[in-house]
Amino acid sequence: MADVQVRSDRLLKRLMKRTNTFAVQPLSDDGEQLLRDLLDASAALWNEINYQRLMRYNDEDGFEGDVWDADTGALEGKYKGVLGASTAQQVIRKNSEAWCGFFDTKNKYHDESNTSVTEHPKPPGFRGNEDDGRQLKTVIRNTSYTVEWGERSRLEILVGSELKDRYDHTGRLRLEIAGDPNWPDYEKQGRLDLWYDETDSTFRASQPVTITDARDTPLADETAALDIGANNLVACTTTTGEQYLYEGRELFQRFRETTREIARLQSKLEDGRYSSERIRRLYRKRTRRRDHAQEALCRDLLERLYADGVDAVYIGGLTDVLETHWSVETNAKTHNFWAFKQFTDRLACTAEEYGISVEVRSEAWTSQECPQCGSTDRTTRHKDTLTCPCSFEGHADLTASETFLRRHQNSGSFDWRMRREASRQRHTEKAVRPMARPVSSEIGDFRDAENAQRFRARFEWDDHEWSESPRSHRPKEQRTDPSTVHRNGNVASGES
């Protein structure tokens, strides 16, 4: 019955929204100047319409009506020569959407039954300012650009006739695309965002696309539990006995350095100023770095889980942590830096591609619980190590994910070795990822025999990818002792 349900589910064709983000490069100096003019004029148009609306919102003298009474037609007429009519319309429309979003959030703020908005929202802002210049940015209608993916991928965008005359250009402006898209095959494309990223002097574009369901089907029905934290971003245990640890210290260190620099710059601002282009740039840089690492982590982890045959992932919610033993600093750390909600959303989206379900469970926190004797008040955590007078000693976050996993096991017990064997066979069959990984020394902080059987991988972020650290632990297969009794008291496979 359940099986039939799953099968018919698989046949359903679903449409999903995704986004391709890529860097683009003009082909000549003239091309670059033209592009800059286009982006600058778009920002100028945005600022003009936004000014018209803000003045009306603030009831300034000389501005009649509400924000929707601003004369968008006149502005479109003024800018369509440079931008092309469709782009002028898109910029105005995007500004309208920003105002709609603002009003919507404001309503939620004033609605007492709605607790999702706790700070009074600010009206849409301007693109840049007088001191630092405008932020180069535009938005292009889905029919006003084309993308060709291939060995030499390229983007072509519509430009206004005045710009063409200015640069003696004909047709659309062609830009070279760097890198490969995540979603090269799609049903249709949406409105393109195109901007200049000052943090690394690069033009970038994001292209929303609608794709048909490309979900994989899980290879088995294994489960994984994640513990999300600040020092170790993710600690994961699966029912096949694999453990994965993604280290976040260095990443956080850099996040904190940037935050300090922002604070330093803010303290030097003149009275009445709250930000500067330099500060905004640092914020953007900080966010982008985190998002990149998060995205890569989701991808890396889910590929591994998929290969392990996992079809369900449980994430330990952080709600309870906040009131218990985590320090204020750790909480701030996790919230600002890791953006828990954003991370779980991202994880769920990536998991969807693999057909893996994600569930956030916020219940009694497991991080202090001894897996050996069940005590929660006798254990001590020092840095990454959890110790208990009963002789247990282990990695605190990995242990937490393991305890968490055990709680959500339907069967109540699971047999690591048997499942691992099945999982390994799947790996071999599918050759999902290279099995030749660096041979590594054991981590010193594991004692019990069962732990020694387990595959435990640590990953470090190097700004581009998560790679396995030499501190990973790979059990030697010949050491497998079938008589090892599971901590729960259940006898492992090979025994009865």
Q: Does 387 bind Zn ion (CB under 5 A)?
A: no
Query: 155 burial class (0-12, 13-18, 19+ CB within 10 angstroms)?
Result: buried
If you write DSSP's letter for every residue of 428-495 in order, what string do you get? HHHT-S-------PPPTT--SHHHHHS-EEEEEE-SS-EEE-TT-B---GGG--TTPBPTTSPBPTT-
Segment contacting Zn ion (CB under 5 A): 220-228, 257-265, 298-306, 373-381?
Answer: 373-381
Count helices and strands (H / E) in the chain.
13, 20
Write down the least CB distance from residue 377 to Zn ion, Å. 11
Residue written as token pair 């996790």: 334
Which residue, 305 or 370, is less far from Zn ion as judged by CB? 370
The nearest distance, CB 370 to Zn ion, in angstroms, is: 3
Closest to Zn ion by CB, 365 vs 455, is: 365
DSSP class of 170:
-
Contact segment (CB under 5 A) with Zn ion among 273-281, 327-335, 365-373, 456-464 equals: 365-373
Residue 53 is encoded by which pair of tokens? 């609306």
Alpha carbons 50 and 41: distance in angstroms, whole number: 14
Residue 381 near Zn ion by CB under 5 A: no
Neighbours of 30 (CB within 10 A): 13
Residue with Cβ nearer Zn ion (386 or 405): 386
Q: What is the Cα–Cα distance from 4 to 8, expressed in whole angstroms?
A: 6
- Assess 372 for contact with Zn ion (CB under 5 A): yes
The span of 204-212, 307-315, 384-392, 435-443 binding Zn ion (CB under 5 A) equals: 384-392
147 binds Zn ion (CB under 5 A): no
Please say which residue, 139 or 398, places its beta carbon nearer to Zn ion.
398
Least distance (Å) between residue 492 CB and Zn ion: 20
370 binds Zn ion (CB under 5 A): yes
DSSP secondary structure letters along 380-442: EEETTEEE-TTS-EEEHHHHHHHHHHHHT-SSS---HHHHHHHHHHHHHHHT-S-------PP
CA atoms within 13 A on the CB side of 304: 25
**385 contributes a contact to Zn ion by CB under 5 A:** no
Length of the chain: 496
**Interacting stretch for Zn ion, rule CB under 5 A, among 324-332, 386-394, 403-411, 452-460?**
386-394
Taking CB under 5 A as the binding criterion, the range among 134-142, 162-170, 371-379, 431-439 that sits at the site for Zn ion is 371-379
Residue appearing with tokens 């020394």: 441
Query: Interaction with Zn ion in 174-233: which residues (CB under 5 A)?
Result: none
Residues whose CB is less than 8 angstroms from the CB of residue 470 and which lie 6 or more positions away in sequence, other chains included: 438, 440, 441
Tell me the sheet residues that pair with 473: 456
Taking CB under 5 A as the criterion, the residue among 178, 322, 332, 390 binding Zn ion is 390
Pick the closer one to Zn ion by CB: 193 or 450: 450
Binding test (CB under 5 A) with Zn ion, winner from 163, 251, 388, 396: 388
On the CB side of 465, how many CA atoms lie within 13 Å of its CA? 5
Q: Which stretch binds Zn ion (CB under 5 A): 13-21, 98-106, 366-374, 435-443?
A: 366-374
Q: Kindly identify the residues of this chain, within the stretch 58-87, that bind Zn ion according to CB under 5 A.
A: none
Nearest distance in Å: CB 21, Zn ion: 48
Q: Which is nearer to Zn ion, 89 or 368 (CB)?
A: 368
Measured from the CB atom, the residue of 230 and 370 that comes closer to Zn ion is 370
Q: H or E stretch including 208?
A: strand 202-212
- Find the shortest distance in angstroms from Cβ 364 to Zn ion: 17
Pick the piece of the chain touching Zn ion (CB under 5 A) from 45-53, 101-109, 362-370, 431-439: 362-370
8 A C-beta contact, residue 353 and residue 295: no
Nearer to Zn ion, 322 or 390 (CB): 390
Residue number with CB closer to Zn ion (343 or 392): 392
Q: Minimum distance between the CB of residue 371 and Zn ion, rounded to whole angstroms?
A: 8
For the purposes of burial, counting CB atoms within 10 Å of the CB of 292, is it exposed (0-12), middle (13-18) or buried (19 or more)?
A: middle
Three-state SS at 364? coil
Look at strands 357-361 and 310-316 and give their pairing. parallel
Q: Looking at beta carbons only, is 248 or 394 nearer to Zn ion?
A: 394
CA atoms within a 13 Å half-sphere pointing along the CA-CB vector of 480: 14
Q: Which is nearer to Zn ion, 23 or 373 (CB)?
A: 373
How many residues bind Zn ion (CB under 5 A)? The answer is 7
Taking alpha carbons only, the member of 307, 135, 172, 334 closest to residue 238 is 307
Q: Closest distance between Zn ion and the C-beta of residue 390, in Å?
A: 3
Q: Tell me the one-letter amino acid at 312.
A: A
Backbone angles phi, psi at 315, to 5 degrees: -115, 130
Of 406 and 458, the one with the shorter C-beta distance to Zn ion is: 406
Other CB atoms within 10 A of residue 221 CB: 11
Instruction: Select from 382, 372, 325 the least CA-distant residue to 487.
Output: 372
CB of 183 to Zn ion, least distance (A): 48
Q: How far is the CB of 487 from Zn ion (least distance, A)?
A: 10
Does residue number 392 form part of the binding site for Zn ion (CB under 5 A)?
yes
Regarding 447 and contact with Zn ion (CB under 5 A), the answer is no
**CB closer to Zn ion, 72 vs 399:** 399
Asked if 373 interacts with Zn ion (CB under 5 A), we say: yes
Residue 238 Cβ, how far from Zn ion at the closest point, in Å?
A: 23
Binding footprint of Zn ion on the chain (CB under 5 A): 370, 372-373, 375, 388, 390, 392
